[in-house]
A and B are shown apart, each in its own frame.
Chain A
Amino acid sequence: MSLAISCSQLNVVRGKNHILHDLNLEVPRGAIMGLLGPSGSGKTTLMRAIVGLQKIQSGAIEVLGQPAASKPLREVIGYSTQSASVYSDLTCIENIRYFSALYAHNEKSPEEILEEVDLTRNSHQMANSLSGGERARLALATTLVGSPELLVLDEPTVGLDPVLRVQLWKLFYQLAAQGKTLLISSHVMDEADSCNSLVLLRNGRTLAQGTPAELREQTKQKRMDDVFIALIGEE
């Protein structure tokens, strides 16, 4: 099975803080991998390292068969930060048109991308007047420009109500069905069951990795919260 992401013995130190410790991670292509862990566990730092925004102290990261941060990867990685990184003083369609223009090859037109995230009606609405759910979908839309094979989404569902969360997860499945790999972080454990693979992070170390069923089996727990607590206990 070919890997979308592989991190080995990854160490990241920011200032005096040692954030990631000898971290190993393998994400198969086509997976919806959930990156779970409490705040401050290093989820964002790991994601930034994978997309090439974070300097690493030691270890290696390979993304889609190439070392992280190498130039060809810029065409094929989509990344959204915790806060929607869009231009709030542009309309939705202007945002997407602008980001599309940065890429040599776009598999979808800006109109198709807005259609996909169900924002066609809001095309000409300014980004700063969007509701929370619409803004989250616009942020997702900005990761779909170019021809992304890997989507790295940092807490894309944070602060959204259950209905909107379900909508977004439907979209994630659609994207995975198109052959894209998704790495999605969350600190809400009940989202774990939506992923087909999980990695639990705590204090910059991988606590466990596997499918939701495997982790339940391992800990003999039903609820994901309990699984997590049991795993911390084992440690």
Chain B
Amino acid sequence: MTKRVLQQLGHDPRTLALLFISPALLMTILKYVYWSNPDLFQRVAGSMLGVFPMLVMFLITSVATLRERTSGTLERLMISPLGKAEFIAGYAIAFGIASLVQATAVSTYAIWVLGLKIAGSQFVLIYTAILDALIGLAIGLAVSTFAKTEFQAIQFMPAILLPQLLLSGLLVPRESMPRLLTDISNYLPLSYAIDATKKVISNQGSIVNDSWIIALFLVLLLTAGSLTLKRKTK
């Protein structure tokens, strides 16, 4: 299953190129946008390292699963002995590997070429980037059930992902928002992903708690995703 998804990616060099080049390009633009304020670049770019894999994985997961549904291959799989959990795990592992490579490449580029300084370890940063990617994947999988067309699937990004992004502490520290928004952000997985990334960048605080909370969200979202895969239709 994992091998098949990676083979499909391998046959699609354009997607692969976009997967690696576009985040690097965005980081470069960010560097020059904040040219007059390098401190701001340090703060924003670090968090962006967690945001890219999440956005990308959300999009490719929701489109890939939708494609399985519309092309009839999902039905083909549902009459085979393949379990639903195996299906989801297959995608999670394949895209997890893709995001590992992406996070490694983009963080290396940001640190060595763009001069991004991180106080914590790059390995931990890559680890948090993979967690972020898996959140994107899990949300993408869950919403793909509610989308009937690719158009709808793409529209779920502004509808579901961007509000989380705004509240996640990427723009302002979460504590400085009105109380209600801070409370809401406490229940959103992305908040913890961004928190963890920030902690690694500044090397302040432990990310163990954030990791557990994210893991819990992942289990919930992936379970929801597998419940929405139905062998039989009404």
Contact = CB atoms under 8 A, between A and B. Distances in A.
B4 A14 contact: no
Interface stretch (B22-30, B217-225, B226-234): B226-234
Contacts of B75: 53, 79, 81, 85
A171 interface: no
A12 B231 CA distance: 16
A15 B1 CA distance: 34
B72 interface: yes
Contacts of A134: none
A53 B78 contact: yes
Nearest to A49: B232
Interface residues of A, number: 34
B78 to A, nearest CB: 7
Nearest to A12: B234
B84 to A, nearest CB: 12
Given A52-B79, A75-B81, A77-B79, A69 B72 contact: no
A223 B82 CA distance: 44
Interface stretch (A88-96, A189-197, A225-233): A88-96
Interface in B58-80: 71-73, 75-80
B81 A103 contact: yes
Q: Which 7 A-B pairs have the closest CB atoms?
A: A85-B72, A85-B76, A98-B4, A102-B80, A81-B72, A74-B81, A102-B82
A103 B80 CA distance: 7
Interface string A111-146: 000000000000000100000000000000010001
Given A53-B232, A79-B76, A104-B81, 20 more contacts: A14-B234, A51-B79, A52-B231, A52-B232, A53-B233, A55-B232, A69-B231, A74-B80, A77-B79, A79-B79, A83-B71, A85-B76, A89-B8, A94-B4, A98-B1, A99-B76, A99-B80, A102-B80, A103-B80, A126-B11
28 contacts: A48-B233, A51-B79, A52-B231, A53-B78, A53-B231, A54-B232, A54-B233, A55-B233, A74-B80, A74-B81, A75-B81, A81-B75, A81-B76, A83-B72, A85-B72, A85-B75, A87-B4, A87-B73, A89-B8, A89-B11, A90-B4, A94-B4, A98-B3, A99-B76, A99-B80, A101-B1, A102-B77, A104-B81
A48 to B, nearest CB: 8
Nearest to B75: A53
Contacts of B203: none
Nearest to B86: A102
Interface of A: 14-15, 48, 51-55, 69, 71, 74-75, 77, 79, 81, 83-91, 94, 98-99, 101-104, 126, 142, 146
Interface residues of B, number: 22
Interface in B1-52: 1, 3-4, 7-8, 11-12
Nearest to B72: A85
B72 A74 contact: no
A81 B1 CA distance: 21
A88 B11 CA distance: 10
A85 B12 CA distance: 19
Nearest to B74: A85
Contacts of A94: 4, 7
